[in-house]
Structure 1
Amino acid sequence: MLWRALNEDTPGPKWAGLFQEYWPHYRRWWLGEGDAMRAPYLESRRALQEHMPEIVPLYDQLCELAGGGDQAARFLSFYCPPPYLSGCSQAIWTGKEPVLVRNYDYNPNAFDSLVLNTNWQGRRVIGTSDGLWGLVDGMNAAGLALSLTFGGRRVVGEGFGVPLILRYVLQTCSTTAEAQEALGRIPTHMSYNVTVLDRKRNYLTAMMAPDRAAVMTHAAVATNHQEAVEWVSHARFTATVERERFLLHRLTLHRDPQEKFIEAFLKPPLYSTAFSAGFGTLYTAVYRPRKLEMEIRWPGTVWPMSMTDFQESSRNLHIPIANDRSQPHPA
């Protein structure tokens, strides 16, 4: 897997080139259930205008760079996308210099493997890309950081893919309180947990769902269920309860120093080798809101990045699918 870290302050030729590179793959996924299953363009744009009006000019600009086609514009709206699942563990180490740490467990063949540093609409944002402008985790220049996990429910409804919701929050919010308001009102098409941390150490986890109001909690840990396990087979397959307990133990009963806590994400039971099942740990991300720094980690490797001194670069990562002999999250 080739990872790239790219900088483009305003949408332009770099982003347009990325779209042309990724679009054939995304188009196959987007139309996998048939064109009629995806929301029409006018409905999608109206939904954006209603719920996230501040980023509609940015959306229009990206649609133009993508060629102005109907299907591309509908895809970029992230409105009512196909359902998709991921693993993931995330937690906040709440010491003097707080950090947000997350593992992203997903199919390596359906992942951007891209870190974007942008200054779109005058707001500096750095994060891990999904759908080329959505984010699965990220941070902005105000020191607001957040990441997502799948919420462990099969219900699908009318709403946005959560990576675009994360992009919206980072483009428009500066504090955890502002993020809470946005996460509480924007509809999501599936259930997700979004953990938020700001530079003043305020944090929350929003348990979002398409069929009920978002639940705001003061939880510093999120895995792949919400208040209770609802999808039992998925919970067993991903060991979501075991991972949650493991993280809570390391944050409370036997509190780890910061670096030891981060390193725990690179080992079982948090680190998964189930790549051939689509739930291997593709990376560990570490966000430091007060320093405006992030890291992408793999076992034995740290890839540091600074929002204020960002250097474009790349990494080649070997995904050991042939060595996959375990269940996703061995406990």
Structure 2
Amino acid sequence: MPNTNNEAVLTFQAVAEATAGERWRALFDYHWPAYQRWFLSDGIEARQTYLAGLRAMQQYMPELVPTYERLVQLAGGGDLAARFLSYYCPPPYLSGCSQAVWQGNEPLLVRNYDYPPTLSDGVILGSHWNRRNVLGMTDGLFGLVDGMNEDGLAVSLTFGGRTIVGDGFGVPIIIRYLLEFCRNTAEAEKALKRIPCHMAYNVTVVDRKGLHFTAYLSPDRKAVITDSPVATNHQKEVEWHRHARATATVERERYLLQRLTLHKEPADRFIGAFQRPPLYSTAYDRGFGTLYTAAYWSARGEVEYRWPGQVWRHKVSAPDESVRHIRYPLGTISA
């Protein structure tokens, strides 16, 4: 991504490749140097071995193992890439994010992804790896930070506002697993209760029938499943107060709950609220500026990615394979 003194430019590209092949390999090769530096930021001794990652995947996500092995092969078959792609006990990472299920006449999950522009893949990947179409925004070219499958199951994540780190998977690979193998919220709930997550994250899920939940995941306690349609950056109560103040997590949660309960507004107006304060953040230099707004229409099988003045529409079965160059101002403070 090119940078100037006062802005960063992130290129988003949509790629459709039913079976992972040369296009996926090219994307991985392009992003791998940066991911390798991040993965080794604490030294190789801090990372789990290849066998530890493989065995954990075999235990908790066995259906995903053939896909994992294929991607490792495409990535060159090296030990380091194999460790990275297992997502088992990766380095800690934080995001901001707000997400909510619209309480209207059809299922709709809306989310803002707040993250450093320099660390995002910027890849919307359409795939058919395990007998169903999946479309979503990638992390590490294997995991997903949000997405939807052909059954209408839509999932997104927010950081959970706790400093605890433990044994488990990075949440993007958990989201990938849900969208590859779950048809509805009931199946997603069962999976989230048994797959360990290495940090605190909130996962909001909605299906084609409009059934929804938010799961609070942490490595030191069992997953908590709630009926909340909203998630920001804390779990029930604020535990990391400094982070909460910096990201206005409580204020954003209250704002969304008020809109859902007090405003019976059209979907487009609700989506538009995500592109204004307090939900929309310009704190890019502090690592939690809003990179995009995503709207997942579960019953339609359609997805919109939005920026101020721009809407990019896709079908889960047929992504719009083009690019968008988005400019983000640096050195600004969130409103």
Query: CA contact under 8 A between 2:161 and 2:238: conserved in structure 1?
Result: yes
Q: How does 1:229-248 map to 2 (within 5 A)?
A: 229-248=238-257
Q: Corresponding residue for 1:292? A: 301
Q: Deviations over 1:121-178 (max 9, x none)?
A: 2221000000101000000011100100000000000000000000000011000000
In the alignment, structure 2 segments of 5+ residues that lack a partner are 1-9
Secondary structure of the structure 2 residue equivalent to 1:136: strand
Measure, in 2, the Cα distance between the counterparts of 1:233 and 1:71: 34
Query: 1:250 and 2:231 equivalent?
Result: no
Measure, in 2, the Cα distance between the counterparts of 1:5 and 1:140: 16
Q: Corresponding residue for 1:100? A: 109
Measure, in 2, the Cα distance between the counterparts of 1:310 and 1:62: 21
With structure 1 as the length reference, what TM-score do the two structures score? 0.97
Q: Corresponding residue for 1:282? A: 291
* Number of aligned residue pairs: 326
Query: CA contact under 8 A between 1:63 and 1:72: conserved in structure 2?
Result: yes
Q: How does 1:1-331 map to 2 (within 5 A)?
A: 1-322=10-331, 324=332, 326=333, 328=334, 330=335
Measure, in 1, the Cα distance between the counterparts of 2:209 and 2:82: 37
Query: CA contact under 8 A between 1:249 and 1:255: conserved in structure 2?
Result: no
Letter in 2 for 1:79: Y
Query: CA contact under 8 A between 2:130 and 2:181: conserved in structure 1?
Result: no
Q: Deviations over 1:91-147 (max 9, x none)?
A: 000211121000000011111011000000222100000010100000001110010
In the alignment, structure 1 segments of 5+ residues that lack a partner are none
The percentage of counterpart residues that share the same residue type is 58
Measure, in 2, the Cα distance between the counterparts of 1:254 and 1:290: 23
Query: CA contact under 8 A between 2:85 and 2:140: conserved in structure 1?
Result: yes
Measure, in 2, the Cα distance between the counterparts of 1:309 and 1:241: 37
Query: CA contact under 8 A between 2:18 and 2:129: conserved in structure 1?
Result: yes
With structure 2 as the length reference, what TM-score do the two structures score? 0.96
Question: Which segment is superposed worse, 60-69 or 247-256?
Answer: 247-256
Greater than 2 Å deviation, 4+ residue runs? 308-311
Say which structure, 1 or 2, has more relative contact order (CA 8 Å, 6+ apart). Answer: 2
Measure, in 1, the Cα distance between the counterparts of 2:295 and 2:198: 27
Q: Deviations over 1:165-212 (max 9, x none)?
A: 000000110000000000111000000000000000000000000000
Query: CA contact under 8 A between 1:151 and 1:226: conserved in structure 2?
Result: yes
